[in-house]
Amino acid sequence: MTRRPLLIAIDGPAGAGKSATARELAVRLGLPYLDTGAMYRAVALLARRAGLGPELDGEGRRAVVGFAERLGVGFRGDPRAQRVILDGEDVTEALRAPEVSQMASVVSAIPEVRREMVRRQRELAARSGGVVEGRDIGTVVFPDATLKVFLTAEPEMRARRRFDELARRGVAASWEDVLEEQRERDRRDSTRPDSPMRPAEGAVIVDTSRLSLSEVVEAVVALLPGPPRTP
């Protein structure tokens, strides 16, 4: 019998530490890393470049679905410093802009976009498994993953992490705006009719509010079946 590749699904709200944890796990375990959020952000970036905003009409929605269906996105480099390539352009930094983050939450709520992204994500992880992070990985994309983890943290802590990230990148933003944007994004992600964000059945919930990155990684590794894995 062929053994299924190891697949770790990490879900959770923005600012819970999904990306950093997934990258470190991928390096620790020698697995591919797939940032599904970057795929939605890439669609959002195309939408913003086309002049579309969060309030989409019918024509705007159809345009966004078209961007998703034609999306030419790829990933390069080590998981800790992975670059996102969109139609030959390195857009890694551009994807983290606040307006793109806001738009990503909007486009990810469109069912046709989600179905296309899920199809692509399953294809990418089918052969070699990996560490996959997002907001519906354990519930929709890979409900039969080897391990399902839902990372969470106190809202103020998550907003503080986002605020500090923007400051490190030299992006001017007020604390109040970052907190409000996060609350609105949480609301959209958790109440959308198609694939709302929630812990998957059988997922282990890990609160990262007062844990360091290394402690979160160790907590997840300890949940894996069999002996602890090393690089």
**Digit-coded pLDDT (tens) for 30-78:** 999 998 889 999 999 999 999 999 999 999 999 999 999 999 999 999 9
Residue 22: CB atoms within 10 A of its CB come to 29
Residue 116 has pLDDT above 80, yes or no: yes
Q: Which of 14, 22, 16, 4 is nearest to 220 (CA)?
A: 22
Helices (H), 30-136: 36-49, 58-69, 98-107, 111-126
Q: What sign results for the dihedral spanned by CA atoms 81, 86, 92, 95?
A: negative
Host H or E run for residue 160: helix 155-168
Q: According to the model, what pLDDT value does residue 164 have?
A: 86
Q: According to the model, what pLDDT value does residue 204 have?
A: 96
Distance (Å, rounded) from C-alpha 119 to C-alpha 2? 23
Q: According to the model, what pLDDT value does residue 228 have?
A: 46
The percent of residues in the chain predicted with pLDDT above 90, rounded, is: 63
Q: According to the model, what pLDDT value does residue 136 have?
A: 86
Residue 1 has pLDDT above 60, yes or no: no
Contact 17, 213 (CB under 8 A): yes
Distance (Å, rounded) from C-alpha 193 to C-alpha 52? 22
Give CA 95 to chain center in angstroms.
12
pLDDT digits (tens, 9 = 90+) for 164-201: 888 887 888 888 888 888 888 888 888 877 778 899 99
Find the mean pLDDT for residues 103-131: 91
Find the mean pLDDT for residues 144-168: 90
Q: In the chain, what are the domain boundaries?
A: 7-221
pLDDT digits (tens, 9 = 90+) for 89-100: 999 999 989 899
- Choice between 228 and 135, residue whose per-residue pLDDT is larger: 135
- Choice between 125 and 149, residue whose per-residue pLDDT is larger: 149
- Choice between 167 and 4, residue whose per-residue pLDDT is larger: 167
Q: According to the model, what pLDDT value does residue 174 have?
A: 85
Amino acid at 51: G
If one looks up domain 7-221 in CATH, what number appears?
Answer: 3.40.50.300
- Choice between 174 and 21, residue whose per-residue pLDDT is larger: 21
Residue 150 token pair: 């839902």
Q: According to the model, what pLDDT value does residue 3 have?
A: 66
What is the edge-to-edge ordering of all strands in the sheet holding 83-86?
A: 73-76, 83-86, 89-90
User: pLDDT averaged over the chain?
Assistant: 90
